[in-house]
Chains A and B, each alone.
Chain A
Amino acid sequence: MFSSFMLNTWFAGTAVAVIAGVTGFFAVLRGSTFAAHAIPNGAFAGAAGAALLGLNPFVGLAVFSAAGALGIAGLSRRARSDVATALTFVLMLGVGALFVSWSTQYAQEAYSLLFGEVFGISASEVLPIAILGAVSVAVIVFMFRPLLLSSALPEVAEARGVPPRRMELVFLLVMALATSMTVPVVGALLMFSLMIGPAAAARSLTARPGLAIALSVVIALVTVWAAIAASYQSNWPLGFFVGVIGAAFFLAGQAWSWGRGKSGNTFRLAARSLR
């Protein structure tokens, strides 16, 4: 399991878990669950297109996830954001279906892009993943306070001069950046579970934002490591384990917070971010 060809997998999985844990916290806090689902899935079309043109899949993923983020943010100006997200998303997927139907070796390629192919990672792919991951974490750290404030209390943030639409755009672009590095590893459909499950579990465990982000990262790491090990042993798809373990953590977190009878998590968190 720890032989040399698996080292890349462990490195990439770790980087993916860290970035998913951090971005996921804000996705859950902002209620951008649908966008977190739409951007990775839509980016799949980009990878299919890049494969068709013989380009590096990262290029296609980056272009399409950025286009998705811009599309969602742009359309949301004049329509409800869930409708905007849905339409941007289906358009990208439709294009993806077209690309896949054009290419010749489509079935296997599409399957691994959607559900992840963690064991096929080469050393040359680890470096871009690490760099892009560091960039997206750096952006979030740089924007931390205004992003937190506009996520928890949008009205207060606006009154304090944080433009909500710009924050939304920045956040969606960070998500797009995170997506373009993680989709080849965990797959488009399951990048989403890794962002939402651990972050939601962390939020039901603590109201302190810093601690919640740290917990979210730790849970994401445990999820990914356990999933890699289980997938290695059973030969079942990685995505299955990521989805199920993530959901189990969420349920455990819910049970914990229900047992302690906590409520008003968002407000406590908002109050802390104001301090």
Chain B
Amino acid sequence: MNTVFRYIIEPGFFGSGPVRIALAVGTVIAVTSAVVGVFTVTRGQSFAGHSLADIATTGGSGAFLIGINQFWGYLAFGAGAAAFMELIGLQRRRGRDVATGVVLGAALGLAALFLYLGTQYSTTTGASFTILFGSMFVLTPSTVPVLIISALLALVTVVVLARVLLLSALSPDLAAARGVPVRAVGAAYLMALAVSVALSAVIIGAVLSTALLIGPAATALRVAKGPVRAAAVAAGIGVAATWLGILLAYDSYYWPPAGRGWPVSFFVVTLITGAYLVSYLRPGGRPVAVPDEPEHACSVALC
């Protein structure tokens, strides 16, 4: 029995300092991303969420260039881009997507430049890889409180605004008629989204933080009824995928072919996508054709 157990969990898993930090931070961030993600999916803003993550890459590489902690770079650029996207305004979704795309393209160009300049001036190889795909096991203990506090701030913002966010997602006109400041609420939500994306960029990398944001929420909205249950299920899926991902990445140290461990991001993404695909198999699952313009018609249960 003990030997079987040893195959599942490598000895020393819970004793390792980096693993314990990764598990603690990963849990907080997975919960935040999953809960924020429920609103992102409901509001049809997957692309905005993903763009914020990619633009955060630019900040991360800029921070790498001037030699400060990458989290501040992710956060500054994410928040700046969120503010800019809010300025572009809530026009029709197609126009918004195109404008988002152009901003994203320019930001990625800057990221290329920062990374290029950064690798010119330092000998750190693989920095671009770390920024893009994350580095959960090299979190420095001093940044952990900052990460956890920002995550909680984002989570509290979204929970407090939950009712108005849902209302303005389902029917902006009704929300405006009821005196909800739709734009201010939208801006606050985008800020929370930027923070949570910057956080997950730290653990699974800017490019893949979309997975933690969208995957658990989309799965939960398929299987759970009502936004509160969906948020709870999403948080559960996010945490489970993160923990299993860390465990497998730790186990994979001796796996072929390279013998230096498979990336955490690969496991997390695969588990999350797997969960989403499994939600199709659920008996009585609703095969629904959801309209592409969620501003007009989309109930939470359908998304």
Contacts and interface: CB of A to CB of B under 8 A. Distances in A.
Interface of A: 28, 31, 33-34, 36-37, 41, 77-83, 85-87, 89-91, 93-95, 97-98, 100-102, 104, 106-107, 110-111, 114-116, 187, 189-190, 192-193, 196-197, 200, 236-237, 239-244, 246-247, 250-251, 266
Contacts of A85: 46-47
| Interface SS majority for chain B | helix
Contacts of A266: 94
A80 B286 CA distance: 13
Contacts of A110: 128-129, 132
B265 A80 contact: no
A58 B205 CA distance: 26
A72 B265 CA distance: 21
Contacts of A41: 207
Nearest to B271: A94
A122 B258 CA distance: 30
Given A97-B205, A192-B101, A240-B110, A82 B215 contact: no
Given A34-B47, A91-B270, A97-B133, A243 B125 contact: no
Interface of B: 41, 44-47, 49-50, 54, 93-94, 97-98, 100-113, 115-116, 119, 125-126, 128-129, 132-133, 205, 207-208, 210-211, 214-215, 218, 222, 257-258, 260-263, 265-266, 268-270, 272-273, 276, 280, 287-290, 292, 294, 303
B97 A86 contact: no
B221 to A, nearest CB: 9
Given A101-B262, A239-B112, A243-B106, A83 B47 contact: no
B266 A240 contact: no
Contacts of B119: 111
B105 A190 contact: yes
A41 B105 CA distance: 12
Contacts of A81: 292
Nearest to A85: B46
A247 B106 contact: yes
A237 B112 contact: yes
A115 B270 contact: no
Contacts of A90: 208, 210-211, 214-215, 269, 272-273
8 contacts: A86-B50, A87-B276, A89-B210, A90-B210, A95-B266, A95-B270, A106-B129, A193-B104
A80 B217 CA distance: 13
A77 B147 CA distance: 38
Contacts of A187: 112
Contacts of B210: 86, 89-90
B109 A190 contact: yes
Nearest to B117: A236
Contacts of B214: 83, 86-87, 90
Which of A78, A106, A116 is packed against the most chain B CB atoms within 10 Å? A78
Contacts of B289: 77-78
Contacts of B94: 31, 266
A101 B263 contact: yes
Contact of B115 (A31, A106, A111, A241): A111
B183 to A, nearest CB: 20
B266 A97 contact: yes
Contacts of A251: 102
Given A31-B93, A94-B270, A36 B101 contact: yes
Contact of B113 (A37, A78, A106, A240): A240
